[in-house]
Structure 1
Amino acid sequence: MELWLEKLKSLKLLYVEDEEGIRKPMANTLAYYLKEVLEARDGEEALDIYYEQRPDIILTDLRMPRKDGLDMVKEIRKNDKKTPILMITAHTDKEYLLSAIELKIEKYLIKPIALNELLSGLRLCVSEIESGRSLFLECKNCKFDFKNRRILHEGGKETELTHKESDFLELLLRKKGMIVSYEEIELNVWKEEFMSIAALRTLVKSLRKKLPNSSIKNHSQTGYSFEV
């Protein structure tokens, strides 16, 4: 068994979904990989469980009655910036998610959720829990100081990054070795702006020039990854 799967076995997850026909089968699947799976039918019930049980990971649907996933996460993020959160969305929820940009969602899972996508999201959560949010992320022969938006090269040289370059590189490094989709890049880097493929390619070209050994890989029609 891979190390991250072993670590996942020691963690508690809160799963929030209003449709029982979806929630129960998914909870059974999750129970195979985690120490404990807590279930909630909506954001109100989820908050009660969250404050009482303090789960290690939260997996939540976006649209639910009483309190939806977005309002629930906003409430949690007022005092908790660290608990990894995975959000389940539909393709049509893009505009709705613009207000979620600052909430630090580890990954958006598009319905219907494939098992490999679910496991990819859980792996990110384990990585986040293990590493915390250090001020520096390792590149190849350099460090990325995301707080000050710069690359620190061996020998002391520093390279400044634009806001978009910094946000894009941080997104890739936090998901090192995984493909980050165009949709996720637009949400996290362009935010409320429209992202054209030409603009994204220009950004990548500029960033590659600033990295000593560029490991940014393009995946045709899909997105980008940072390869180790």
Structure 2
Amino acid sequence: MSTKIRVLLAEDELALAQIIKESLETRNFEVIHGKNGEEAFDFFLKENPDILVLDVMMPLKDGFSVAKDVRKINKNVPIIFLTAKSQTQDVVDGFAFGGNDYLKKPFSMEELIVRMQSLLGRIENKTNEDTIAIGNYLFYPIKQLLVHNYTVENLTHRETALLQLLIENKNEIIDREVILKKIWNTTDFFSGRSMDVFITKLRKKLSLDTTIQIINIRSQGYKLTC
């Protein structure tokens, strides 16, 4: 990447766009602003940005359509959607059209910058996140989401870490102490009870697919089967 990270910002609310642009430019970003979807896509073709920040609702071409066209050309450039919508279907659509993350308006500039840096860091370090399929679910570890058809479950950091560990050891028993040391950093009684509670929460969040089970192996640990 160049010294300055090149951001393509597509936002038709000019006042908001100016605030975002000025804020990012004080943080060593170079911002290219498209006032509508068509202009933004033209800039994408000409300017080769490092990351795209796309408003969903725009004239001429909406953000999802821009992302869909971008993905025909470039599968890896990070895309963040900005949306005033909160419906589950909009979140699912955003991922389906190739988005890597989304922010609901209103949002803080600090949150936008942290999410951008996270996505750019994964690209720079060649550790791009793959979606993990588990049964009929799609698991997004970085986004901390579980998606099943049109149902989206938000996971906590600890739920995400626990599920990822179970998936990495699918169909194998993971010793209780191994889980506790990796995720709770202690094996005391109270942490053990906390782990059991988190297992119950994960079972509930995975309950839309009956082929997925988290089995308690008495006096040993847990095993994820699918």
Q: TM-score scaled to structure 2, two decimals?
A: 0.63
> Which structure has the greater CA radius of gyration?
2
Q: How far apart, CA to CA, are the structure 2 residues paired with 1:196 and 1:88?
A: 18
Q: CA deviation at 1:193?
A: 3.8
Of the three residues 116, 121, 135, the one matched with 1:122 is: 116
Tell me if the contact between 1:85 and 1:107 (Cα under 8 Å) persists in the aligned partners.
Answer: yes
Q: How far apart, CA to CA, are the structure 2 residues paired with 1:58 and 1:20?
A: 17
What residue number does 1:162 align with? 134
Of the three residues 90, 102, 120, the one matched with 1:108 is: 102
- 2:41 is aligned with 1:47: yes
- 2:50 is aligned with 1:56: yes
Q: TM-score scaled to structure 1, two decimals?
A: 0.62
Q: Deviations over 1:103-151 (max 9, x none)?
A: 33222111111123112211222213212356xx8xxxxxxxx69x6xx
What residue number does 2:19 align with? 25
Of the three residues 36, 39, 43, the one matched with 2:30 is: 36
* Superposed counterparts of 1:1-228, under 5 Å: 10-132=4-126, 162-163=134-135, 167-168=138-139, 171-172=140-141, 175=142, 180=143, 185-186=145-146, 189-193=147-151, 195=153, 208-209=165-166, 211=169, 213-214=178-179
Q: CA deviation at 1:190?
A: 1.9
Q: How far apart, CA to CA, are the structure 2 residues paired with 1:23 and 1:196?
A: 29
Q: CA deviation at 1:101?
A: 2.5
Note closer, same or farther for the CA distance 1:96–1:128 as it changes in structure 2 (3 Å cut). Answer: same
Q: Deviations over 1:56-84 (max 9, x none)?
A: 11011110111010111001111211100
Note closer, same or farther for the CA distance 1:10–1:71 as it changes in structure 2 (3 Å cut). Answer: same
Tell me if the contact between 1:86 and 1:105 (Cα under 8 Å) persists in the aligned partners.
Answer: yes
Q: Secondary structure at 1:95's aligned position in 2?
A: helix
Tell me if the contact between 1:84 and 1:128 (Cα under 8 Å) persists in the aligned partners.
Answer: no
Q: CA deviation at 1:196?
A: 9.6
Q: Secondary structure at 2:8's aligned position in 1?
A: strand
Tell me if the contact between 1:87 and 1:107 (Cα under 8 Å) persists in the aligned partners.
Answer: yes
Count of matched residue positions in the alignment of Structure 1 and Structure 2: 174
Q: Secondary structure at 1:45's aligned position in 2?
A: helix
Note closer, same or farther for the CA distance 1:83–1:196 as it changes in structure 2 (3 Å cut). Answer: closer
Tell me if the contact between 2:67 and 2:98 (Cα under 8 Å) persists in the aligned partners.
Answer: no
Tell me if the contact between 2:86 and 2:104 (Cα under 8 Å) persists in the aligned partners.
Answer: no
Determine what percentage of the aligned residue pairs are the same residue: 23
Note closer, same or farther for the CA distance 1:209–1:36 as it changes in structure 2 (3 Å cut). Answer: closer
Q: CA deviation at 1:44?
A: 0.2
Q: How far apart, CA to CA, are the structure 2 residues paired with 1:76 and 1:65?
A: 17
Tell me if the contact between 1:57 and 1:84 (Cα under 8 Å) persists in the aligned partners.
Answer: yes
Q: Secondary structure at 1:33's aligned position in 2?
A: coil
Structure 2 unmatched ranges of 5 or more: 185-193, 195-201, 203-226
Note closer, same or farther for the CA distance 1:44–1:33 as it changes in structure 2 (3 Å cut). Answer: same
Task: Report the RMSD for the aligned CA atoms in angstroms.
Answer: 3.5
Q: How far apart, CA to CA, are the structure 2 residues paired with 1:130 and 1:68?
A: 28
